[in-house]
Amino acid sequence: MTFRTNLTAFCFILLTTVAQADIVTPKHNAVASAHPLATKAGLEILQAGGNAFDAAVTVASVLGVVEPYSAGIGGGGFWMLHQAKNNKTLMIDAREKAPAAATRDMFLNKKGAVDRDLAINTALSAGIPGQAAAMAHLAEHYGTLPLGKTLAAAIHYADTGFPANKVYLQLAKVRHSVLQRYPASKRLFLLDGAEMDIGTLIRQPGLADTLQALAKDGFAGFYKGDVAKRLVKGVQAYGGIWTEQDLADYTVVERDPIRFNYQGATIWSAPPPSSGGVALQQMFGMMSQFKYSDMNEADKTHLLIEVMRRAYRDRAEYLGDSDFVKIPLNRITSEEYLQDLSDSISMAHATPSSSLGLPKQVGSGTHTTHFSIIDKQGNQVAATLSINLPFGNGVTIEGTGVLLNNEMDDFSAKPGSPNAYGLIGSEANAIEPGKRPLSSMTPTFMEFGPKDNRQLAVIGTPGGSRIITMVFLGLLEALDQKGIQSWVDRPRFHHQFAPDVVQYEDDAFDPKLKAALEKRGHTLKSVGREYGDMHTVRWYQKNGEVEAASDKRRLGYAEISP
């Protein structure tokens, strides 16, 4: 028995060594993010000897400064990591948590309806942020450089300022009425009403001081001591319910990713409390029951809409924080279950969502950011970070520069009622103290391609409820061996079960395809604009070549090192 066990172990090590010998490590470092300043800062850290995890801290922190409308240390997110030296893939869950004083009905008015303003535009809507904890965790366990080095660029841009761009000006206008409610936000982000143009300098000296404290003292620099006291005092002054104990008790969680195979590809994606990985596994699992590659364009599009519909239906029914609710993960991702779902799909007619049944208990962020990184050792990071709506809930805590999230709206404030994105939730995602709200953030890795040309994709995007379907469509482009820019440029469409409409970008469907879909019973609704901001990296494992691409819809920037 001992001999046989040792022989088996030896064979496994031998096969693993051979497999790894066939992989050529990346010839270049690569970073793709939503802002040129963040991408360049990340590459500088890599060129200075840091690894992908160090660069991730730098990129995330700079984005939190130059994209205050998207994600900062007042928010949270999911960080997919692959550590090359031990072939380890995991997700760091830095999702916000409900404060200890949170209650199930905290956003309901006297009539029992959800008070939307209370749920998205006040300090009460802020969960305990996880971003700073994630940075400290990465530095302590995965990086090679101190936070003083990796946060330096963010501290610089917070202190000296960054030039406003068109996206900043657009979103500041969208949230103007909320930002001007709160003095620090009005002063910092609206310049007290002064006229702003492209190039206007936005300075955040209080945020620079908070980042300095994080750099000096790590976790304790944000979640304990002076910064924590100021945060709690400010939150409570605006009607929030944070306590110093809430901050001190915050922890990130390392979770095993959702992992599955599809036609020779292996996909790793975010597990609960993200719904992204489960939805991707379900959609690809349903597709595997059909001869998708042999279909015409109308059939392919119809099938994709139908698998989206069913995955989002199950999202509403079953998913939440797995530390609080029992999720029937094995059942809803089993081959038998997915076969049953696919059997309910008619290729001739759209399935009315109402015929699939509403979640038992019935009667995610528009602003988020993403970045992708690969270093020359083969370490990988896909991180999707958020404060939920643009500029979060609009509250900036005086003296800290911390702009608060409104992620409490991602809970089911009233099970069965839609949130800001129209997503329905059930009891699985009801508010509870210490619980993390369900998310659509879907940072993902995919190994794919023929045996003689295996490739690795690092991919993700912001976009609220549409994140999952954007990543899904991007992965399909990769599986078709399309160029990396086409992954992010592909015109997008989306179905989320309720409302029962196909949302689409104007160039997603030509007149012939529209007519074919409408003939099958689909209701089509243009969103009237482009959406999403995808950033991705591809590594060819045979020769070590690396590519990176950023979405042309926004201002992102992708670059590989010389």
Instruction: Give catalytic residues, as residue numbers.
Output: 368
Return the percent helix, strand and coil in the chain, to nearest 5.
Answer: 40, 20, 40
β-sheet bridge partners, residue 367: 388
- Per DSSP (E only), the strands in 470-545 are 493-494, 502-504, 524-526, 535-540
* 3-state secondary structure labels for all residues of 6-64: HHHHHHHHHHHHHHHHCCCCCCCCEEEECCHHHHHHHHHHHHCCCCHHHHHHHHHHHHH
How many of the other CB atoms lie within 10 Å of CB of 447?
16
E strand or H helix at 313: helix 297-318
Which tokens is 304 given? 């994709």
Q: Which amino acid is at 333?
A: T
**Contact by Cβ (8 Å): 394, 383:** no
- Per DSSP (E only), the strands in 389-461 are 396-397, 402-403, 444-448, 455-460
H runs (alpha helix) in 26-165: 36-47, 52-66, 116-120, 131-141, 147-150, 152-160
Helices vs strands, H then E, count in the chain: 21, 20
**Chain centre distance of CA 198:** 28
Conformation bin of residue 437: beta by default, left when phi > 0, alpha when psi is -120 to 50? beta
**Chain centre distance of CA 20:** 30
Burial of 256 by CB count in 10 Å (0-12 exposed, 13-18 middle, 19+ buried)? exposed
Angle of CA points 127, 278, 407, to nearest 5°: 15
**Contact by Cβ (8 Å): 240, 405:** no
How many of the other CB atoms lie within 10 Å of CB of 111?
6
How many of the other CB atoms lie within 10 Å of CB of 525?
12
Long-range CB contact pairs, 515-520, < 8 A, 24+: 516/298, 516/302, 517/298, 517/301, 517/302, 517/305, 517/350, 520/302, 520/348, 520/349, 520/350
The set of residues, in sequence order, having a beta carbon less than 8 Å from that of 200 and lying 6+ positions away, is: 163, 164, 191
Q: Which residue has the tokens 């997919």?
A: 80
Q: Which amino acid is at 542?
A: K
